[in-house]
Amino acid sequence: MPGKSDIIVIGSSNTDMVIKAAKFPIPGETILGGEFFMFPGGKGANQAVAAARLGGKVALVAKIGNDIFGQQALQQFKNEGIEVKHVITDVDHRSGVALITVDAKGENTIVVAQGSNGALMPEDLTQATPDIENAKIILIQLEIPIPTVVEATALAKRFGKKAILNPAPAAFLPSEIFDGLYLITPNESEAEAIAGIRVTNLNEAKQAAEKIREKGVKNVIITLGSAGAYIQNEDGGKHVGTPKVKAIDSTAAGDIFNGALAVALSEGKTLEYAVTFANAAAALSVTRMGAQASAPFRNELTHML
């Protein structure tokens, strides 16, 4: 029923195939890795699961293939308590997959085959419009076609909803995406792609965030990995630190951050508290393998907060 979900996630669903290795291969090199893992992933699905595990009322708008990966993903969403009535089975494309290598430091490289994610078109949002109108937060990423992202932000603006754009993976963004956007959450490299300013320290983060705000975004949060996050809005700038942990796999840290951020904001928390909450969730996630598998539950964050 419309209004059931406070958070509408519009995005991708993938299956992640992960190999751990001592180092990344250079071009033309074959190396022997360690264990192989297969996890449910995709930025949209990751963020939806993260939000649901942290207590959010979540609906997902996505496309999956008519294959075993799609069937497994759909069941996983149901198991996590996510509303799936807007998850469309695409008979023309296979489900998306991601090939991931994780090195000994917990860093990763990822190659994604979009599959059905690339077929999530603007018109596919029509059936979700009543739920978008009754939600609080609209959470979007860039593993779906840009015209669909434009439509999603336009719908959020039309209904006065808080649209959060996680601009990952980095891509060219037309100006209309920024118009009325409540919040954007790039990492350092994504912020550089948008602002044209390299981000290697807090001063540069401030400069990049101010440049991004000039495009029409009300709030900018630049995520800084183990250094936390930097917030910039009309009240000024603020750095928010993150708990120190031993990273094992950083694959979905940004997705966990965004899902947690959406939950805190949907509960009416301040932006600074929401970032503190999201930092804690992301920090806990990097101590575990996998994407959705690494997403923490609400009670696990108590001691970190």
**Residue of 90, 124, 249, 255 marked catalytic:** 255
All residues at 6 or more sequence positions from 95 whose CB lies less than 8 Å from its CB, including other chains: 13, 14, 15, 64, 65, 67, 69, 70, 73, 115, 116
Assess contact for 280 and 243: CB atoms under 8 A. yes
CA distance 71 to 86: 15
Judge whether 255 counts as a catalytic residue.
Answer: yes
Alpha helices in the chain (DSSP H): 43-53, 68-79, 129-134, 146-158, 175-178, 188-195, 202-213, 253-266, 271-285
All residues at 6 or more sequence positions from 299 whose CB lies less than 8 Å from its CB, including other chains: none
CA distance 266 to 246: 30
CA 293 to chain centre: 15
Phi-psi region of 249 (alpha: psi -120 to 50; beta: other; left: phi over 0): beta
Q: Cα–Cα–Cα angle for 79, 80, 84, nearest 5°? A: 80
The residues carrying an active-site annotation are 255
